[in-house]
Amino acid sequence: MNKAITDGLVLTPTPFAAGLSVWSSGDGTPGSDTYAGSGSGVLITSDQNFDGCLEIVKVATTQKLRYMGETTILPGCYLRISAKVKAISGPLPSVRIAGWAGGAGGAHVTGLLETGPEVALTSYGEVVEVSAIVGTGTRGGVDMVWNGAIYGHFGLDLTGANGGIVRIDDIQIEDITSAYLRDMMTMVDVRDYGAVGDGVTDDSAAFEAADAAAGGRIVSVPEGVYYLANHVTIDNRIKFQGTVTMPTEKRLVLAKDFDFPTYVDAFGSEELAFRKAFQALLNNADHESLDLCGRRILLSGPVDLQAAEASKTSYAMRRVITNGQLEAQSGTAWESGVATSQATYSASNDRKLTGVVNVANIEVGALVTGNGVGREVYVEDINIAQQTVTLSQPLYDAEGTQVFTFTRFRYLLDFSGFQSLTNFVLDDLELNGAGYGSGVMLARGGGIFTLRDCTINRPKDRGLTSIGSGCQGLAIDRCQFLSDEMDLPVSSRVSIGFNANHNDVKIRDTRVVRFKHFCILAGTGNLIVGNHWFHGDGEALGVRKGGIIFTSPNTKSVITGNYIDNNFIELTNEHDATPAMGVQYSFGGLTITGNIFHANDVGDWFRFIVVKPYGPDHFIHGLSVIGNTFRVLNGNIERVEMVDTTFADLDYGRMRNILFVGNTYNSVDNEAVNPALVEHTQTTASTAWVVTGTPTLPFGGRARVMESLTFDDKITDSSGGTVAAMPWADTEYGTAQDQVRLVWPTACSGKIWARIRMDRPV
């Protein structure tokens, strides 16, 4: 920067040869004495050192020389005033640059230093240069800080003994603001600290040195490729025109510019930038969240997040990835890995496969399928030396040796390399599998993983997968799961929204569209509130599958205020190595309240609530179905609940604490109610009245308890006389044990209301 060029300022005073009337022997202000009228100064036109100069006889204690022209002082502009002098004869004086600071209206600005460093003349004929810098800012090398002045009269002073004669060359004033540009532009260039930018030389130390020198200014990385062989942390703001390259295990932490676009500028690749930004997120980046700033990141393959930060296998501090989109691009990297291996399973070691052939071919996170394997069983770990595979869940009927298939889906975000990951949040993201990749695979352990305000769009196989206990306390809030199989009939779909193996899952205000299943929940303590999941198709009398599948029989869960559309709630125990009833809890612990159940174009065999025991002797203990609306369009169904007896039936003699009350049924032939209020009219006098409880009682249950008996009219004997006696109840009567026989002391007839239960309340 040079104000003489950019603003047209005239800085250099007129030479002495042009006349001494503009050179003052005072302050340089208008009216002050000039050397043109003073005998102490004379113009010398010929000097061996100077091409025209002023010769002064020192007659005052401070002999002044000031240019009477006003030299402008601008904020941010720095001027150097210089002069060459030599002693001719007499006492040797000292010389310094000096000036007079002027303000508005020609007023003197007081309180400012108006003299520069003093230089003593030590010999005759020796040319000595004196100089000083004046400017408005306190910076290194500035001799006169004139903050508040708008112009100055500049020159020099002669001090010391009087009587000496001194010759002075023309005084020079120049703009040297460029010497301060680096400070003024708040920019520190890494090249000034040794960075080369050839992609080979290690520039780590130069980056660190530039950052240390920045002091709040911006670190500038100009064009080039800068190789960083070590960890680098930049504590100041940084701007990249060039890019950096560094080993995978080394991290670049940008403490002040920790956002995805800056990492893209740094590394030049969106995928690499995302990995390196995640690496920094887990390494004291002074930020708890990685902001993608609304960017779309195209992924050519899965992102192994533990590999991005291989030094950590567990992490428990809250971290967030937010505000962006990850989208899979077509490529072979998304192809599922498939291995088949012979292995042995024993119910006594129910989470292990042993003697696994070619175990090294099996990937952690692979889905396990085979005879006797329930849904959503995954490989949690492998031990090559011992030839074992650790399973996420037990197998219900796989005792012995068989060939299993292990299918490893590919996920946009894969956390499975972490042994434990806790308090991690995905917020306001779209994870678009585009039909090529799945969504998220959780860590093997940890918990409190949160998915909020996210869209999992078109996952090829799974939206979110848990292969271990990393789903403990999983929270899915205000999300969307959109299938890639919307145009397929239900019977052809393979994709699943998500699964969870452990307890305390919260699913709230989430919308799920046309998967095979919404979720498979193996844990207990689930809260499912305010969601809408629909899985129908355009098929007439089409197949419908479970929306939510509970695989822990006593699920201890709540389903409240949801819209359950063209699918059903399924209760199983398929993740039990000994599925026959033993010492474990049986089915129950489930509250279904205030939901909308809807189906259309289904066969009369369709049901909304299905219990499917994988072993005998189970029963239901604790099931509340209260205040729901069940509605079917384009046809009727027989009832809303059933037992799937593919493997076993329930023990109806052990049913306890089952409530079906306050529900609304539309296009349902047999409305399930328990306890059921049954009307019975006995037209022929008899001592034994047989009251039928079905088909009202849920699950085709037995008439186990009669809670109450109310006479609708008087009870009369065969002669018309009133019978005042009460009968006793013979419950579980008849071949199907679905009737109650009322035994009277005398033959009678009449009409009664009986409240009958298919369970025994505790």
Tens of pLDDT, residues 489-548? 999 999 999 999 999 999 999 999 999 999 999 999 999 999 999 999 989 898 999 999
Task: Name the residue with tokens 């996210």.
Answer: 454
Q: Determine how many CB atoms are found less than 10 A away from the CB of residue 721.
A: 12
Determine the distance from the C-alpha atom of residue 414 to the mean position of all C-alpha atoms in its chain, rounded to a whole number: 14
R_g of the chain computed on alpha carbons: 45
Q: Is it the case that residue 586 has pLDDT exceeding 80?
A: yes
pLDDT at 184 exceeding the cut of 60:
no
Least confident of 174-188, 563-577, 579-593: 174-188
Looking only at the bridges linking them, the beta strands covering 388-391 and 352-354 are antiparallel
User: Checking phi first, is residue 657 left (phi over 0); if not, alpha (psi -120 to 50) or beta?
Assistant: left
pLDDT value for 182 = 59
DSSP state of 574: T
What pLDDT sits at residue 523? 97
Q: What single-letter amino acid sits at 498?
A: F
Residue 43 has pLDDT above 70, yes or no: yes
Once rounded to an integer, what is the mean pLDDT over residues 564-571? Answer: 98
Q: Is the pLDDT of residue 285 over 70?
A: no
Task: Using DSSP bridges, classify how beta strands 475-477 and 450-452 pair: parallel, antiparallel or unpaired.
Answer: parallel
Secondary structure string (H, E, C) spanning 636-697: CECCCEEECCCCCCECHHHCEEEEEECCEEECECCCCCECEEEEEEEEEEEEEEEEECCCCC
Say which DSSP state 277 is in.
Answer: H
pLDDT in tens, 134-181: 998 887 889 999 988 999 999 999 999 999 999 999 999 999 988 876
Q: Which amino acid is at 235?
A: D
CA distance 23 to 648: 116
Q: Using CA atoms, how far apart are residues 358 and 375, in angstroms rounded to an integer?
A: 24
Q: Is 126 exposed, middle or buried (0-12, 13-18, 19+ CB in 10 A)?
A: exposed
CA 208/CA 637 separation, integer angstroms: 73
pLDDT (tens digit per residue) in 297-341: 999 999 999 999 999 999 999 999 999 999 999 999 999 999 999
Looking at residue 1, its pLDDT comes to 45
| pLDDT above 80 (res 694) | no
CA distance 737 to 652: 10
Write the pLDDT tens digit of every residue in 6-39: 455 778 899 999 999 999 999 999 999 999 977 7
At residue 5, the pLDDT reads: 42
Task: Kindly report the average pLDDT of the chain as a whole number.
Answer: 95
pLDDT at 267 over 80: yes
Lowest mean pLDDT among 172-186, 662-676, 736-750: 172-186
Taking residue 221's Cβ as centre, other Cβ atoms within 10 Å add up to 25
Is-contact 105 167, C-beta < 8 A? no
Contact present, 740 and 696 (Cβ < 8 Å):
no
